[in-house]
Structure 1
Amino acid sequence: MKAIKYFIITGLAAVSISMVSCTKNFSEINTNPNGSSLAAPEALLAPALYDVVTKNQTRALRLTNELMQDHVTTINSDEIHRYVIRPSESDYMWNNWYLQLTNFKDMYKGAAILQQKSLMGMALIMDAWVTSLITDLFGDVPYSEANMGKNNIYTPKFDSQKDIYTSILDKLDTANVYLAANQALTADQKPLDPLYAGDIAKWRKFGNSLLLRLLLRVSGKPEMNAGARIKKMVETSPATYPIFTTNDESAILRFTTTAPYVSAFNTYRDYDFNGDNGLAEFFINNLKDWGDPRIAKWAAPVGGQYLGIPSGYASGAVPDRKSYYPAALKDEPLLGNIINYSEVQFILAEAAVRGYISGNPKTYYDNGITNGITLWGYTVPANYLNGTDIMWNAGGSDGSKLEQIHLQKYYAMFFTDFQQWNEYRRTGHPVLPIGPGVLNNGKMPARFKYPVSVQSLNRANYEAAVAAMGGPDDLNTKMWWNK
């Protein structure tokens, strides 16, 4: 184990952070871009990507899976399932995402100097992905002046979410152009790519699949022209915008049980992973009703049965834990998911329902379900797609069709950072039961509060951002894309 010190500007202040590398391999490639102008751009990819994915894992366990009823805590004082989120929860994501955003930006700068177009495209995809995580959680955030501590900008202005999205969508378009040049990585560079081992075609599909996700996220804002852009990608110019076509192309940092690419949960005690929570009735009951084979990997039976507990239980009425995450899930390779093929199929199903594309939504819906199951190594049970609760309802309302799509998409995004919650806030689907102990007037939080450090160290810009969003800085102030 070898300590590596970074001097990082998170967009607020100069903070000295001591980072510990996971292995000798990472200590060799986890170069500090602020301390050396000679860092090879490809050397920044793996440690930064690994850090974001594993930090996202822990937040999915801690926050998303509680909010979205994958599981329920059995600690009465932990009230995330009751829609109570302490301000201190915000600091962890903010600090870590901005930390690695600096590395991805430096990766791009280094690749641009060397005119390595593939690395430039990869860095832009990473930049857009991490930026979307930040703005989707908080709303207006530092962007154009963020990560500029080396330029003595320690109190950056906050950019509007609309402007941020306009920029990151453009970055993904630019990444597509760079990757279309198909500039091969060298033999030395390929092992430093933990996603695709230097397969440029797959990186290009990743960037465009992420572009579809983010276009759909802002599709409720007419000024973004998202529907027309989706149609161009999928129907008018599909060869120009290749997207995932198989599970193997999914963007998943596939964990192993040996360093450097181990799950964030690899060193967790079983109790820390599953000892103080039980799987929720909503999560378990759907899988049982459908006969979904994934339940065997996602849930441990109790007394030979899969049983859940209610979310949002009243204070003091803590239920007995029943089914829970199996310990083997701690090292599951697929928990390194960023965006997978199944999610993309559900994106296209929704786009078809909304009239953005002319394809049959049933085709995409069925394909999304099928590949969501086969991704986890299972065969789709016979007649599964014709099950009462699964079969596509072509005669239903658009609302009922969206509920079908998003209920299945919910499972496709299992343990994927904040994506289940992001989609719920955008669409209101899938419909979740509201327990008797839910607070916040029964309303799902619309965002997270800004970190306390932001309020104290960048006060003027913080106050301006809160005012611009319509304030106050609380869980219920909606951001631009879901107003």
Structure 2
Amino acid sequence: MTENTGAGYWNNSYKWAKQIYEMKKSAVSSNDKNYEAIALVLNAWAYSNLTDTYGDVPFTEASRLDEGISQPKFDQQKNIYIQMLDDLKRANSLFVTTKTLTGPDLFYNANNDVNGITSWKKFCNSLSLRLLTRIMAKNGEVNVYERIQEIVNNPTVYPVFQSNSETAKLNITGVAPLMPPIARPQDFTTGRAASEFFVETLKGNNDPRMALFFSQAKNLQGSNIGYKGAPSGYAYGMVFDYQPSNMNQNLAKAPLNILVYPYAELQFILSELAFKGIISGNAQTFYENGVKATIEQWGSTMPSNYFSNPKVAYNGTLERIMLQKYVALFFVDQQQWFEKGGPDSRYFRTTGIAE
């Protein structure tokens, strides 16, 4: 770790935030409610990732250099979350679902299909549920349960994702300007290895996506020895008697989808909320919907006997829901890390177990 660790993500995020800020100003100036709403949604997405990564970050004074603010103050994470949730609620009320966009829409093609605006609205409310679930421990300081129930109990007013087809994603075609973010696939795997925890979890699941996600490990003679990851947090200088599995380089090649918010994630959120009695509904049904959706979103076929595997079957525990949610968040920016990346993550706080 150096003082520059994470600088690239920080700089890129604020570059995006500035573009979103200008988009919102333009939308307000032209009284375009849909673009204003989309700007609020994208702003909440960008800043939720920023604050979940770094904690307190510049927010209210960010992107305002033209106003003479060159050193914006750092806002408290709690206040950022409150404002993001208020912004998302306002965005939901702004969307005009009978009017298309005037410019290209790489997410939902809402410039050609009016249903794309409804999909944006579903993204908005699904994002609210992600953020509200992440701060459930703060219920009382913030009216978390009330806001969750308001969304879930009023699907006409607050629609959410209903299928994989509504997943928020960016389709990278490989045709300019939609080029892969990593120019050389070999750079995607340089200095990396698949984690032992993730590999062993998928092996235990008999997950049909193993070959899609990973390369096989090799022994010192260079022969394949199956899928075997590297332990997380191993000591510096540790010598392995094998070359661990790595990410499949094809994951970085076009065509590919950059997942922003998958439908499967929402199903696991609803499963957790039903498990805790915060919303009505069947936790097992939501759970199984999530497992099926995350397999199918990658183009794989859900095995007919998948839930006969005791390591995948719903067993009435929150640990099982959170573990399969963790699997579903693979390749969704930094969401896996936000859920399970350290001793303060939701996975450890929620289940009370350590890896």
Whether TM exceeds 0.5 here: the answer is: yes
For residue 261 of structure 2, the aligned residue among 319, 335, 339 is: 339
Tell me, in whole angstroms, the C-alpha distance in 2 between the residues paired with 1:269 and 1:360: 42
1:315 match: secondary structure: coil
Tell me, in whole angstroms, the C-alpha distance in 1 between the residues paired with 2:101 and 2:41: 17
For residue 363 of structure 1, the aligned residue among 257, 268, 285 is: 285
> Are 2:194 and 1:279 aligned?
yes
> Are 2:35 and 1:119 aligned?
yes
User: Contact (CA 8 Å) 2:196, 2:232: kept in 1 or not?
Assistant: yes
Match of 1:255 in 2: 172
1:125 match: secondary structure: helix
Tell me, in whole angstroms, the C-alpha distance in 1 between the residues paired with 2:167 and 2:176: 22
Tell me, in whole angstroms, the C-alpha distance in 1 between the residues paired with 2:292 and 2:21: 37
For residue 228 of structure 2, the aligned residue among 307, 313, 317 is: 307
Q: Deviations over 1:106-141 (max 9, x none)?
A: 101111111111111111111111111111122222
User: Contact (CA 8 Å) 1:117, 1:183: kept in 2 or not?
Assistant: no
Match of 2:143 in 1: 225
- Alignment-mate amino acid for residue 213 of structure 1: R
Alignment of 1:172-211 (within 5 A): 172-186=88-102, 189=103, 192-198=104-110, 199-211=116-128
Match of 2:156 in 1: 239
1:253 match: secondary structure: strand
Alignment of 1:36-435 (within 5 A): 85-186=1-102, 189=103, 192-198=104-110, 199-222=116-139, 223-235=141-153, 237-265=154-182, 267-270=183-186, 272-302=187-217, 303=224, 305-319=226-240, 320-331=242-253, 333-394=255-316, 401-424=317-340, 425-428=345-348, 433=355
TM-score (norm 1): 0.67
- Alignment-mate amino acid for residue 85 of structure 2: L
User: Contact (CA 8 Å) 1:251, 1:338: kept in 2 or not?
Assistant: yes
1:336 match: secondary structure: strand
Tell me, in whole angstroms, the C-alpha distance in 2 between the residues paired with 1:316 and 1:393: 40
Change (3 A) 1:322 1:144: closer
How much does 1:146 deviate?
Answer: 1.6
Q: Deviations over 1:24-59 (max 9, x none)?
A: xxxxxxxxxxxxxxxxxxxxxxxxxxxxxxxxxxxx
User: Contact (CA 8 Å) 1:216, 1:347: kept in 2 or not?
Assistant: yes
- Alignment-mate amino acid for residue 260 of structure 1: P
Question: CA RMSD, aligned part only?
Answer: 1.8
TM-score (norm 2): 0.89
How much does 1:209 deviate?
Answer: 0.8
- Alignment-mate amino acid for residue 266 of structure 2: V
Q: Deviations over 1:79-129 (max 9, x none)?
A: xxxxxx433113222222112211101101111111111111111111111
- Alignment-mate amino acid for residue 258 of structure 1: V
User: Contact (CA 8 Å) 2:24, 2:36: kept in 1 or not?
Assistant: yes
How much does 1:357 deviate?
Answer: 0.2
Tell me, in whole angstroms, the C-alpha distance in 2 between the residues paired with 1:305 and 1:103: 45
How much does 1:182 deviate?
Answer: 3.5
Q: Which runs of 4+ in 1 moved over 4 A?
A: 332-335, 429-432
Change (3 A) 1:153 1:328: same
Higher relative contact order (CA closer than 8 Å, sequence separation 6+)? 1
Question: Percent identity over the alignment?
Answer: 40
